[in-house]
């Protein structure tokens, strides 16, 4: 996987009107210059926000891509959650998950000991 190439493409798409026009005209053609594998191309063409999040795309970059596709904020967040449920933990990058989905990181205690009222 080439997370750097995916994020580089998205960064350029998010910032460049000419790239946006090219993407709108022919999604596959605009992706050709980037070193992307078939899984990444499919996620960018779809667009599959959940898959891209699972692959490790930074949320700051991804939210602009979602907005470009007119995906509302709540739907964007849900698609990220659905991506984890469907594809598994984030693979790499800043959001990489080092625990299982059901692991408890910090137990929640029901007592209010030490809490100020």
Enumerate the domain spans of the chain: 3-87
Q: What percent of the chain has pLDDT over 90?
A: 73
Residues 6+ apart with CB under 8 A from 78: none
Q: What's the pLDDT at 108?
A: 66
Q: Which CATH superfamily includes the segment(s) 3-87? A: Dioxygenase LigAB, LigA subunit (1.10.700.10)
Alpha carbons 34 and 6: distance in angstroms, whole number: 8
Q: What's the pLDDT at 106?
A: 61
Q: What's the pLDDT at 91?
A: 82
Torsion of the alpha carbons at 37, 42, 43 and 45, rounded to the nearest 10: 120
Within a 10 A sphere around the Cβ of 33, how many other Cβ atoms? 9
- Per-residue pLDDT tens for 19-61? 999 999 999 999 999 999 999 999 999 999 999 999 999 999 9
Residue 111's pLDDT band (boundaries 50, 70, 90)?
Answer: low
- Is the pTM value of this prediction over 0.85? no
- Per-residue pLDDT tens for 76-108? 999 999 999 999 888 876 566 655 666 665 666
93: left (phi over 0), alpha (psi -120 to 50) or beta: left
């Amino acid at each position: 996987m080439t997370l750097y190439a995916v994020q580089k493409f998205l960064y350029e798409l998010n910032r460049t009107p000419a790239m946006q026009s090219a993407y709108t005209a022919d999604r596959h053609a605009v992706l050709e210059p980037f070193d992307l594998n078939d899984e990444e191309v499919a996620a960018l063409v779809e667009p599959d926000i959940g898959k891209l999040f699972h692959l490790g795309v930074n949320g700051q970059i991804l939210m602009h891509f979602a907005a470009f596709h007119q995906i509302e904020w709540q739907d964007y967040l849900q698609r990220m959650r659905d991506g984890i449920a469907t594809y598994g933990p984030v693979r790499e990058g800043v959001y990489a998950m080092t625990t299982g989905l059901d692991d408890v990181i910090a137990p929640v205690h029901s007592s209010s000991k030490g809490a100020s009222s």
